[in-house]
Each structure stands twice: as C-alpha cells, then as structure tokens.
Amino acid sequence: MATINKNRIRPKHVDRICSETFNSATFYNSLAWKRMRDVYYKENPICYECLQHERITPANDIHHLRRFSSGANEEEQWKLFLNMNNLRSLCEACHVGYHIKMKRYGLDYVDAFDGIDLCSDSHSYNILRRIV
C-alpha cells in the first residue's frame, strides 16, 4: 500500500512554471486540496504513465492535466484545481516530463507522452532533472 507523506514539499519546477501573478500557494495549502490529494493517492497509488508501459512505479506526485491557473477567474481556477478528472498520479520522472512538455510547447493541457517512455532508465531521468 502506498504511503502518503503529508509534509511533502512541492517540487521547485512546479513553482517556476506557475505565473508570477498567480499565487498557487493559496490552492495547495487549502484543506480541500489536502483532503482530495489524500483520497486520490489512496485510489491511484501507481504512476499512470509507467503503468501504460507495463511498469509498476509508486506515484509520488499528483499532476493537474489542465493548468488550473489557466482558469479565467478564481471560481474557474478552483473548479479545475479540485476536479478529480483533472488529476493524474505520476512518479517524479514522469511528472517532470509532463511539465517539460507543457513548458516547451506552451501548453495548458497534457494528457500523455504520446507513447514516449521517459522514465525507462536512469539516464533519461537524469537528463530530465538537468533540463528543469
């Protein structure tokens, strides 16, 4: 069974990707998010992308498929943020890969790597860590 570390600090790359005017801490520090995150981890303890490549890797990050900061107003942002259908459990390597793809192509939404297996070996993972 997956262990949830409630005191986990968000990766630095998430803060860099968020807009300077958008305060993501308001969302990530909310009780609603903490409760939903715990439920989502319990229901989805395995990395979605790794599972697509027939590999079992514990998920340690939850990714929002559509950036909640892309909402037109605060109400829309909260709806995106707290929508379970907008979440994906990922290992750290896959999560970094999602954010690289979003940043590189200026996307607000990423659903998959399009068949690319980014965390198949430690070499590709180390390359990803240097890019972000």
Split at pLDDT 50, 70, 90, the class of 99 is: confident
- Domain edges within the chain: 12-131
DSSP of the chain:
-----TTPPPPHHHHHHS-TTS-HHHHHTSHHHHHHHHHHHHH--B-HHHHHTT---B--EEEESB-GGGSSSHHHHHHHHT-GGGEEEE-HHHHHHHHHHHHHHT-SB----TT--TTSSHHHHHHHHHH-
Whether the predicted pLDDT of 14 surpasses 60: no
Residue 61 has pLDDT above 50, yes or no: yes
Q: Does residue 9 have a pLDDT over 70?
A: no
Higher pLDDT among residues 129 and 67, named by residue: 67
Q: If you average pLDDT over residues 100-125, what whole number do you get?
A: 65
Percent of the residues in the chain that have a pLDDT greater than 90, as a whole number: 23
pLDDT of residue 39: 94
